Amino acid sequence: MDVGLVSYGVYIPRYRIRVEDIARVWGKDASTIIRGLGVWEKSVPDLDEDTVTIAVEAARHALKRAHIDPKRIGAVYTGSESHPYAVKPTSTIVAEAIGATPMLTAADYEFACKAGTAALQTCMGLVSSGMIDLGLAIGSDVAQGAPNDALEFTAAAGGMAAVVGRAKEAVAVIDDTCSFTTDTPDFWRREGQPYPEHGGRFTGEPAYFRHVAAATRALLEKTGTRPEDYDYVVFHQPNGKFPKNVAAKLGFSKEQLAPGLVVGRLGNTYSASSLIGLAAVLDVARPGERVLLTSFGSGAGSDSFSLTITDRIEEIRGGAPTVEELLADPIYLDYGMYAKHKGKIRM
């Protein structure tokens, strides 16, 4: 394919809450939860942060990293399940904030945790067709989990923005992509409800594992590749166990999962989850190395991508914060302050 990632940017709020502090409030055994989820802390948005502000910061980092003129951006698509407005696009705010308006198209995407990769595929199509020069695909979320629900221990905040352009400019060429989609209602939130609901163990099989495995196998078959042909693999990270289990099931090693497996220190950033994992890989990948990425969105579907790193990756090193730098030096909150930051306390 004649498209690839020209640049990328990430934003992760500095605030965190430890799983043990959430467990203490509800009288639960933190060690059991941490062992079961593979998550020991998660990111929390500041009082003035939401999906929009996180998307804007990630987009600014993406443009800064490769010194991109925002007027080259012909499309902005933001995937999220926590858009601040039911009727008012996030993407227009992002486009205005980065100076890309007015000659562009924009829209918001929703497909649970794979909305960001759905936006990525759309930008790929627009660039390939020649309709636009560069496209900006964003996954951003400040997802909520109901108090004392399993999701509260993992639902986090963060964003990743990917600039999509022609392969000749790319730091990572997208060799191919494919998707696997069904109507599997494992996770949902109706309009007006503050917290999502989920099917419990139903979210593993037949939701996450079926879709991630099927999309990945389809991509391997389509590209004529095997797990050992890739240097890195990134899967959606609702917790620390699911990506490890599906990697082993498909024949990938633990070494291939690193350094993209950041969920333990970050939590589940939903639409940004697999994309932030990809960014963590791009931060250290070398020219010629190959990456396989498979997202998952409840409802349900997976998008799988094969990417090859180019020599241009070295040109954009140090242009914007890495995932490791954004995870460093956190500020920890107690449960009361966390609840205030997340809007769980209503006056």
298 is known to lie in a ligand binding site:
yes
113 is known to lie in a ligand binding site:
yes
201 is known to lie in a ligand binding site:
yes
- Count of C-beta atoms within a 10 Å radius of residue 258: 14
Ramachandran region of residue 318, left (φ > 0), alpha (ψ -120 to 50) or beta?
Answer: left
123 is known to lie in a ligand binding site:
no
Q: Is 83 a catalytic residue?
A: no
Contact 293, 307 (CB under 8 A): yes
Q: Starting from the edge strand earliest in sequence, which strands make up the sheet with 331-332, in order? A: 41-44, 15-18, 331-332
32 is known to lie in a ligand binding site:
no
At 114, list the tokens. Answer: 């794979």
42 is known to lie in a ligand binding site:
no
203 is known to lie in a ligand binding site:
yes
268 is known to lie in a ligand binding site:
yes
- Environment class of 236 (CB within 10 Å of its CB; exposed 0-12, middle 13-18, buried 19+): buried
Contact 77, 163 (CB under 8 A): no
- DSSP secondary structure string, 192-254? T-SS-EE-GGGGIIIIIHHHHHHHHHHHHHHHT--GGG-SEEEE--SSSHHHHHHHHHHT--H
Q: Is 67 a catalytic residue?
A: no
Q: Is 81 a catalytic residue?
A: yes
Q: Which of 41, 113, 198, 341 is catalytic?
A: 113
- DSSP secondary structure string, 155-197? B-EEEEEEEEEEGGG-SEEEEEEEEEE----SEE--TT-SS-E
Cis (ω within 30 of 0) for the bond into 300? yes
83 is known to lie in a ligand binding site:
no
Q: Which of 61, 83, 211, 236 is catalytic?
A: 236
Helices H / strands E in the chain, number of each: 12, 14
Q: Which of 41, 81, 152, 169 is catalytic?
A: 81
Cis (ω within 30 of 0) for the bond into 102? yes
280 is known to lie in a ligand binding site:
no
Which residues does the annotation place in the binding site for CoA? Answer: 201, 241
Binding residues for (3S)-3-hydroxy-3-methylglutaryl-CoA: 29-30, 113, 154, 203, 236, 268, 298
Active site (catalytic) residues: 81, 113, 236
Annotated binding-site ranges: 29-30, 113, 154, 201, 203, 236, 241, 268, 298
